[in-house]
């Protein structure tokens, strides 16, 4: 998936700013153009992860022509680009994993999961999401 990004020119004293029009509030910056684009990928991944954790749907990338037609993105101050996002970050399919833990840790984990009314897997997943 390729999300269009809008980049605001940086100068010797200001960073390049990046906005992801399809993901409201998703933005980043960088001292160089390359850094700004790299940081945009991280911002997109975090935005999507947070939205999924909150049960929100994720908007598919818009066509560049649609976005460029909007008045807020017209003008020479903007550079257009794309960030390639791995579709696997959207994958909610359960996957079986094998982990190794000391028995005392496993016993504590099972006890805490039971107290929370969760399965072991569900409790681990909630811990990972809330961390």
pLDDT at residue 96 is higher than 70: yes
Write the CA distances from 128 to 24, 49, 56, 62, 131, integer angstroms: 25, 12, 18, 31, 5
Kindly state the greatest CA–CA separation across the chain. 62
Output the pTM of the full model: 0.70
Query: What residues does 78 pair with on adjacent strands?
Result: 8
User: Two tokens at 91?
Assistant: 């994958």
Domain ranges in the chain are 2-90, 94-131
Is 2-90 a domain of CATH 3.30.160.250?
Answer: yes
Residues 40-68, mean pLDDT to the nearest whole number: 91
Question: pLDDT band for position 80 (50/70/90)?
Answer: very high
With residues binned 3-state (H G I as helix, E B as strand, rest as coil), the percentages for the chain, rounded to 5, are: 45, 15, 40
Write down the residue that tokens 């022509």 correspond to.
Answer: 65
């Amino acid at each position: 998936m390729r999300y269009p990004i809008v980049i605001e020119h940086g100068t010797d004293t200001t960073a390049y700013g990046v906005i992801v029009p399809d993901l409201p509030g998703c933005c980043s910056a960088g001292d160089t153009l390359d850094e700004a684009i790299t940081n945009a990928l991280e911002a997109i991944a975090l935005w999507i992860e947070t939205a999924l954790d909150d049960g929100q749907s994720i908007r598919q990338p818009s066509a560049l022509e649609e976005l460029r037609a909007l008045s807020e993105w017209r003008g020479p101050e903007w550079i257009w680009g794309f960030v390639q996002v791995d579709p696997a970050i959207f994958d909610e399919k359960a996957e079986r994993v094998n982990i190794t833990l000391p028995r005392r840790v496993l016993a504590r984990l099972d006890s805490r999961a039971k107290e929370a009314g969760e399965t072991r897997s569900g409790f681990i997943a909630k811990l990972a999401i809330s961390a």
